[in-house]
A and B are shown apart, each in its own frame.
Chain A
Amino acid sequence: MSKRLKGLLTPVIAVLLGILVGTIIMLASGYDPVAAFSALWNGVFGDIYSFGEAVRQITPYILAGLAVAFAFRVGLFNIGVEGQFIVGWLAAVWVGVAFDLPRAIHLPLAILAAMIAGALWAFIPGLLKARFRVHEVIVTIMMNYVALHVTNYIIRNVLASKSGDKTDMIHESASLRSEWLQSLTDYSRLHWGIVIAIICCFIMWFLLERTTRGFELRAVGFNQHAAHYAGMSVNKNIILSMLISGAFAGLAGSMEGLGTFGYAAVKGGFTGVGFDGIAVALLGGNTALGVFLSAILFGVLKVGALNMPLEAGVPNELVDIIIALIVFFVASSYMIRALLDRLSKKEVK
Chain B
Amino acid sequence: MSLMDILMIVVPSTLLWAAPLVFTALGGIFSERSGVVNIGLEGLMVIGAFSAIVFNITFVDTFGSLTPWISILVAMVAGAIFSLLHAVAAITFRADHTVSGVAINLLATGITLFLVKLIYGKGETGIISEGISKVDIPILKDIPIIGPIFFQNTYWTSFLAIIVAIIVWYVVFKTPFGLRLRSVGEHPMAADTMGINVTKMRYLGVILSGALGGIGGAVYAQSIANNFSHSTISGQGFMALAAMIFGKWHPLGALGAAIFFGFAQSISIIGSSLPFLKEIPSVYLLIAPYVLTILALTGFIGRADAPKSIGTHYIKGNR
Name A's B-contacting residues (CB within 8 A): 25, 29, 77, 79, 124, 128, 132, 134-135, 137-139, 141-143, 145-146, 149-150, 152-153, 157, 268-270, 275, 278-279, 282, 309, 315, 317-321, 323-325, 327-328, 330-335
In the complex, per-residue mask of B167-200: 1 if CB is within 8 Å of any chain A CB, else 0: 0000000000000000000000000000000000
- Taking CB atoms, residues of chain B closer than 8 Å to A132 are 298-299
Roughly how many angstroms separate A331 CA and B95 CA in the complex, as a whole number?
A: 5
20 contacts between A and B (CB under 8 A): A132-B298, A134-B294, A134-B298, A134-B299, A135-B297, A137-B98, A138-B242, A138-B294, A141-B238, A275-B102, A275-B106, A278-B99, A317-B110, A317-B113, A317-B114, A321-B107, A321-B114, A324-B104, A332-B89, A334-B93
Which one of A138, A278, A330 has the highest number of Cβ atoms from chain B below 10 Å of its Cβ? A138
In the complex, per-residue mask of B189-214: 1 if CB is within 8 Å of any chain A CB, else 0: 00000000000000000000000000
Contact B39 A321 (CB under 8 A): no
Roughly how many angstroms separate A323 CA and B294 CA in the complex, as a whole number?
A: 30
B302 within 8 Å of A (CB atoms): no
Roughly how many angstroms separate A134 CA and B301 CA in the complex, as a whole number?
A: 13
Which one of B118, B234, B281 has the highest number of Cβ atoms from chain A below 10 Å of its Cβ? B118
Question: Closest CB of chain B to A335's CB: distance in Å?
Answer: 4
Contact B283 A149 (CB under 8 A): yes
Give the size category of B's interface with A: 35 or more
Q: Of the candidates B106, B117, B294, B299, which one forms a contact with A279 in the assembled complex, judged by CB atoms under 8 Å apart? A: B106
B160 within 8 Å of A (CB atoms): no
Contact A145 B89 (CB under 8 A): no
Question: Closest CB of chain A to B137's CB: distance in Å?
Answer: 34
Q: Of the candidates A278, A319, A331, which one forms a contact with B89 in the assembled complex, judged by CB atoms under 8 Å apart? A: A331
Q: Of the candidates A146, A327, A332, A335, which one forms a contact with B287 in the assembled complex, judged by CB atoms under 8 Å apart? A: A146
Contact A317 B107 (CB under 8 A): no
Roughly how many angstroms separate A279 CA and B294 CA in the complex, as a whole number?
A: 25
- Taking CB atoms, residues of chain A closer than 8 Å to B114 are 25, 29, 315, 317-318, 320-321
Name B's A-contacting residues (CB within 8 A): 37, 39, 85, 89, 92-96, 98-100, 102-107, 109-111, 113-114, 117-118, 230-231, 234-235, 238, 241-242, 245, 281-283, 286-287, 290-291, 293-294, 297-299, 306
- Taking CB atoms, residues of chain A closer than 8 Å to B231 are 268-269
Chain B facing A: main interface SS: helix
Q: Of the candidates A25, A150, A327, which one forms a contact with B99 in the assembled complex, judged by CB atoms under 8 Å apart? A: A327
Question: Closest CB of chain B to A135's CB: distance in Å?
Answer: 7
Contact A77 B95 (CB under 8 A): no
Contact B290 A146 (CB under 8 A): yes
Contact B100 A328 (CB under 8 A): yes
- Taking CB atoms, residues of chain B closer than 8 Å to A317 are 109-111, 113-114, 117
- Taking CB atoms, residues of chain A closer than 8 Å to B111 are 317, 321
Contacts A146-B287, A269-B231 given; does A327 touch B294 at CB 8 Å:
no
Contact A150 B283 (CB under 8 A): yes
Roughly how many angstroms separate A282 CA and B109 CA in the complex, as a whole number?
A: 20
| A269-B230, A331-B95, A332-B93 given; 16 more Cβ-contact pairs under 8 Å | A128-B297, A138-B242, A141-B238, A142-B290, A143-B294, A146-B287, A149-B286, A268-B234, A275-B106, A317-B111, A317-B117, A318-B114, A320-B114, A323-B106, A328-B100, A331-B93
* Pairs A-B, 9 closest by C-beta atoms: A320-B110, A332-B93, A324-B107, A324-B106, A331-B95, A321-B110, A315-B117, A153-B283, A142-B290
Q: Of the candidates B106, B297, B299, which one forms a contact with A139 in the assembled complex, judged by CB atoms under 8 Å apart? A: B297
Residue of B nearest to A318 (CB): B114
Chain A facing B: main interface SS: helix
Roughly how many angstroms separate A139 CA and B93 CA in the complex, as a whole number?
A: 27
Contact A328 B293 (CB under 8 A): no
Contact B102 A79 (CB under 8 A): yes
Roughly how many angstroms separate A134 CA and B303 CA in the complex, as a whole number?
A: 10
Residue of B nearest to A141 (CB): B238
Contact A331 B100 (CB under 8 A): yes
- Taking CB atoms, residues of chain B closer than 8 Å to A79 are 39, 98, 102
Contact A138 B245 (CB under 8 A): yes
- Taking CB atoms, residues of chain A closer than 8 Å to B242 are 138, 142
Roughly how many angstroms separate A330 CA and B94 CA in the complex, as a whole number?
A: 11
Contact A141 B107 (CB under 8 A): no
Contact A142 B293 (CB under 8 A): yes
Contact A128 B294 (CB under 8 A): yes
Question: Closest CB of chain A to B130's CB: distance in Å?
Answer: 27
Question: Closest CB of chain A to B86's CB: distance in Å?
Answer: 9
Roughly how many angstroms separate A332 CA and B299 CA in the complex, as a whole number?
A: 34
- Taking CB atoms, residues of chain B closer than 8 Å to A137 are 37, 39, 98
Contacts A128-B294, A149-B286, A315-B113 given; does A331 touch B99 at CB 8 Å:
yes
- Taking CB atoms, residues of chain A closer than 8 Å to B297 are 128, 134-135, 138-139
Contact A138 B287 (CB under 8 A): no
Contact A138 B241 (CB under 8 A): yes
Contact B291 A146 (CB under 8 A): yes
Contact A141 B241 (CB under 8 A): yes
- Taking CB atoms, residues of chain B closer than 8 Å to A135 are 297, 306
Question: Closest CB of chain B to A237's CB: distance in Å?
Answer: 20
Roughly how many angstroms separate A323 CA and B282 CA in the complex, as a whole number?
A: 35
Question: Closest CB of chain B to A118's CB: distance in Å?
Answer: 18
Roughly how many angstroms separate A139 CA and B299 CA in the complex, as a whole number?
A: 13
Contact B235 A145 (CB under 8 A): yes
Roughly how many angstroms separate A145 CA and B292 CA in the complex, as a whole number?
A: 12
